[in-house]
Copies of this chain bind each other. A is one copy, B any other.
Amino acid sequence: MLVMAAKLAAEPAYTRLPVDERRRLLLDAGAKLFAQHSYEEISMRQIAQAAGVSKPLLYHYFPSKNDLFLAAVTEAASELQGLIQPAAGGTPVEQLTASLDAYLGWIEDNGRTWAKLMQSAAVLPEAHQLVEGFRVGTMELVLAELTGKRKPRPALRTAIRGWLGYMDAAILDWTQARDLPREELRDLLLAAFVGALLAAQQVDPKIKLNLG
């Protein structure tokens, strides 16, 4: 009797959600945790628990931890992509200024997320490639107007890659020390960019640049 009553009154053993909704829930839970801690610090068990769900269900929607992380990073990256997309007109330097402003503004609002993302991307090759491809794509837009469409010479390519590293390191320093106004950092990055281009030209005089 009691058993029957209990069974009739019992709540469902679990709630079954539409696929899209469940997937969103899990992706959001993962993104939130990955934004606050690095990749290795978070376990699939924790993510599932945060979403109020069992671990195999998480694996049902994302076949591996790597996949889940990549899905979260991809989403954040495309959000950023929209902000950074350089406007059509203006000189290359103006375009770069606008993109840097948008980029730094986003980082000012999401400092911890940015730091953890960079840290994690250093280890996971796919995530690294994703971030790198996203940047290279942006850089190519700028470079196309700076150097024409010819394939860049090695020294120029290395200098550009170097400047991207400069940007990461300087931004990291900026988020940690917080003693530099955003505009000043932006100008520093811009000046360093021009400096990097001139340094490349100095090393390899065959490099042609039409700076605005």
| Interface-side segment among A9-17, A70-78, A161-169 | A161-169
| Interface-side segment among A20-28, A61-69, A186-194 | A186-194
Decide if A102 is an interface residue (CB 8 Å cutoff). Answer: no
Decide if A185 is an interface residue (CB 8 Å cutoff). Answer: yes
Inter-chain contact A177/B162, CB cutoff 8 Å: no
Cα–Cα, bound, A164→B204 (Å): 22
Known contacts A155-B188, A158-B170, A185-B158; decide if A199 and B195 are in contact (CB<8 Å): yes
Q: How many of these chains are in the complex?
A: 2
Decide if A119 is an interface residue (CB 8 Å cutoff). Answer: yes
Inter-chain contact A158/B188, CB cutoff 8 Å: yes
Q: What 0/1 readout, one digit per residue, does chain A (25-40) give for beta carbons within 8 Å of chain B?
A: 0000000000000101
Known contacts A166-B163, A166-B166, A204-B184; decide if A173 and B196 are in contact (CB<8 Å): no
Decide if A180 is an interface residue (CB 8 Å cutoff). Answer: yes
